Amino acid sequence: MTYTVTEAKNKLPELIKQAEAGVRVTITKRGVPVVEIVRKAEDPPRKRAFGVLGNRKIVIDPDWARPQKNVNAWLAGDV
């Protein structure tokens, strides 16, 4: 299907539906084809990341080395 720029501007949702259906839509400017709207190809499957955490970020408590008031309670896990 071929449309002028003005027609395409007024019918953009319809052109997108046509492209989703697999129709190649061409937009012309002064009779010269300048743009083609086509359905996007499927994305390739994501490559698996090595390791247990994958791509997750690890956030470390900035106060991890703060001094403890009661070291014995801290070692026992009561703090």
Please give the chain's pLDDT, 79 residues, in tens.
899 999 999 999 999 999 999 899 999 999 999 999 999 888 788 877 677 766 777 778 777 777 777 888 878 877 6
Task: Identify whether 10 is part of a domain.
Answer: yes
State both tokens at 17. 């539906």
Task: Identify whether 23 is part of a domain.
Answer: yes
State both tokens at 14. 């319809």
Task: Identify whether 53 is part of a domain.
Answer: no
Model-level pTM greater than 0.75? no
When divided into structural domains, the chain yields a total of: 1
Tell me the residue range of the domain where 8 lies: 2-37
Task: Identify whether 22 is part of a domain.
Answer: yes
Mention every residue, 6+ apart, whose C-beta is less than 8 A from residue 50: none
Helices (H), the chain: 5-10, 12-20, 71-76
End-to-end CA distance of the chain: 71
Task: Identify whether 60 is part of a domain.
Answer: no
Task: Identify whether 57 is part of a domain.
Answer: no
